[in-house]
Copies of this chain bind each other. A is one copy, B any other.
Amino acid sequence: MSMPGPVTAQQMHFAEPLPLRSGAALRDYTLLYETYGTLNAARSNAVLVCHALNASHHVAGAYADQPKNVGWWDNLIGPGKPLDTDRFFVLCVNNPGSCFGSTGPMHVNPDTGRPYGSDFPVVTVEDWVDAQARVLDRLGIAQLAAVVGGSLGGMQALGWTLQYPERVRHALVIASAPNLSAQNIAFNEVARRAIVTDPEFHGGHFYAHGVVPKRGLTVARMIGHITYLSDDSMEAKFGRTLRSAELSYSTQDIEFQIESYLRYQGDKFSEYFDANTYLLITRALDYFDPARDFGGNLSAALARAQAKFLVVSFTTDWRFSPLRSREIVKALLDNRRDVSYAEIDAPHGHDAFLLDDARYHGVVRSYFDNIHADTTGELHA
């Protein structure tokens, strides 16, 4: 096992416009990405990680000057870890529209000379997959050993197998869904309304006013956070524990620990996340629906996929419940695709996909071990 060295974010500039599903195009854009491990001579050991709502390209390791800024999936990815960077060349691209470095709403719109703000074009999961494919093109990676993602990242992994079926050998779709339910969309919509109706949103051009719609973002994050945790884990962690021994009988003071926790999560998020990015990313979630063009028939939609699949869900995830993962599995089986499915009995709700759970990580490790065996000749070429 090699020692993990410090990691560095890299960037690629694209002068050629990226056509988007909306009909608009993103022109003159930059994408940030990180890589871990070494691309082999056959260029056959690349694994693309797709990030979810509030994550970035910084998936694993730490920056030399920020040793505590550890990648968001560092428990899964690294030397000797389930996705082993001693064997695989892992990369993650920060999606356009993000607020973590790739071209996004806070950057200057070349058409107007001022920040895009709410004029940033609506981007979809399919657009992100296209953008990632261009990065792979530049790196000379014709085919991925695997594409991996959780939640919204899992939608991108699934999208890869449909948009570029010949470029993906394996897809790991974790804690995800073939589309959002009405309830999922409803939670996204409330979050968006909280942001958009904050007077400091200024129609999405708040940058010019030197403010951010902090109140709206805080509420949006609090709503989101409730849906990431299971009812049971919230109960186990907080229950009805009071902040003080005595009730204060106030509608605005913090009385219960769960209130303190949620306010903290909301405040923290509102200090680093961009409001326009939040709108864009929740909308990309809403729109993803590969079955739409097939009259709602997911089996027909997935017929294009050629990859082998690992689908993973978590029993207490009520945001993207196991039922939704099973829809993907069934549609793949209808097409006689090679699919493994693991339903992990974990208490943590949707957030489980980010946590270090032995059974979950064991499944992912075994799956990558088999990919390794598949490609040993190439990997050691």
Contacts and interface: CB of A to CB of B under 8 A. Distances in A.
Interface string A99-123: 0000000000000000000100110
6 contacts: A182-B235, A182-B240, A185-B256, A185-B258, A186-B234, A189-B256
Interface in A1-46: 21-24
Contacts of A196: 252
Interface stretch (A69-77, A217-225, A364-372): A217-225
Contacts of A294: none
Main secondary structure of the interface of A (DSSP, over half): helix
Contacts of A282: 251
A283 interface: yes
Contacts of A181: 231, 234-235, 239-240
A219 B222 contact: no
A240 to B, nearest CB: 6
Contact of A187 (B185, B226, B250): B226
Nearest to A252: B196
A223 B263 CA distance: 16
Contacts of A263: 189, 193
Given A187-B226, A286-B256, A240 B179 contact: yes
Contacts of A23: 249
Contact of A255 (B258, B280, B286): B286
A194 B182 contact: no
